[in-house]
Amino acid sequence: MEYRFGTITSFNARCHMFGLRIPYYVWIGCSKDDGSSQHRLARLNAAATESPFLAALDNHSQSFQSANEANAIDIRSKAYESAVINLSASLPLPSTWYQTHHWRLYYDDQLEKHRQFNDEYIYAFTWEDSLVDTRLLKLQEDDVVLAITSAGDNVLSYALERPRRIHVIDVKYVVMPHVNQYMLIWNLAPLKTTFSNSNSLASLLFPTKISGASSAKANTHAFDNSLSRNSARTCPASLSNIGSNTDPLLFRHLLKASTLPAAPDMPCN
């Protein structure tokens, strides 16, 4: 399917019903000639018609970038490079191109540098004092911030100041346990009223299981589990939970909000 369709997202998980650990795989795709991806590609191609490859792009990049500063995918991005390679082999584009949110930029999840930490994260929370950062940085609306993610707590406090852009960096693909998950929750917050007996704000805000970095592996799962337990009806990661009582419109909404990277063994639920 991944050769024939565009992949929006996919994940592996296990079902713990009946005391078994039954593996299952969810794949969500679309037509590989999805409208929006075509549109974006066309814009990029228009800027570099002579050659689809990078040598030609250097000359164009400068002017092109300033014209398209708002565009999530800049011309020298890895996403573009991968798109060119996939197109030349007439394969579907990488999943970034089919997803509707572009805060998570394309990366090749098979590279050793992303895999060296296994499925673990090193920092379960950020030690650097966010109040000190706020006081020192005094972020303004036109600031463009680049920050190392760590666990993502400070990045979220920067977001409260609403700078124009925040670039966050991490070499691990299991990044930002907080950011990724909280973004999903916050993004779905308006939907929450749709669900019956939805969880209180407090239970969303204070998931009970965040602990120190001590046993990172266990914590990853503890955190994911606690989140999906607390917010089973709001986290698109647990699509299986909502499948039965969801109307198609809502389902589509969830898909739209889904930003999970297509990492094959993303620890999810």
Q: Which stretch binds another protein (CB under 8 A): 17-25, 36-44, 159-167, 239-247?
A: 159-167
Nearest to 237, CA basis, from 254, 220, 219, 218: 254
Amino acid residing at 202: A
The count of chain residues that interact with another protein, using the rule CB under 8 A, is 81
Of 1 and 169, CB closest to another protein: 169
Per CB under 8 A, does 129 bind another protein?
yes
* Number of other residues whose CB lies within 10 A of the CB of residue 101: 14
H helical segments located in 30-72: 35-47, 57-67
Of 37 and 180, CB closest to another protein: 180
Per CB under 8 A, does 139 bind another protein?
yes
CB 78, min distance to another protein, A: 7
Kindly tell me which residue out of 4, 14, 16, 164 binds another protein, with binding defined by CB under 8 A: 164
Q: Which stretch binds another protein (CB under 8 A): 51-59, 83-91, 123-131, 244-252?
A: 123-131
Please give the Cα distance from 175 to 166 (Å, whole number): 15
- Across 185-205, b (16+ Cβ under 10 Å) vs e yields bebbeeeeeebeeeeeeeebe
CB 181, min distance to another protein, A: 12
Looking at residues 76 to 95 of the shown chain, list those that interact with another protein (rule: CB under 8 A): 76-78
Report residue 131: phi and psi, to 5°. -65, -40
Amino acid residing at 110: Q
Kindly tell me which residue out of 15, 16, 186, 243 binds another protein, with binding defined by CB under 8 A: 186
Residue 253: both structure tokens together: 């909404």
27 near 10, Cβ under 8 Å?
yes
Per CB under 8 A, does 130 bind another protein?
yes
Looking at residues 28 to 47 of the shown chain, list those that interact with another protein (rule: CB under 8 A): none
Please give the Cα distance from 119 to 96 (Å, whole number): 21
Per CB under 8 A, does 14 bind another protein?
no
Radius of gyration, alpha carbons of the chain: 20
Kindly tell me which residue out of 31, 189, 264, 265 binds another protein, with binding defined by CB under 8 A: 189
Looking at residues 98 to 117 of the shown chain, list those that interact with another protein (rule: CB under 8 A): 101-105, 107, 113-114
CA 121, distance to chain mean position in Å, is 16
Per CB under 8 A, does 170 bind another protein?
yes
The kind and range of the H/E element at 217 are: helix 216-230
Looking at residues 190 to 249 of the shown chain, list those that interact with another protein (rule: CB under 8 A): 190, 201-202, 205-214, 216
Kindly tell me which residue out of 57, 93, 166, 235 binds another protein, with binding defined by CB under 8 A: 166
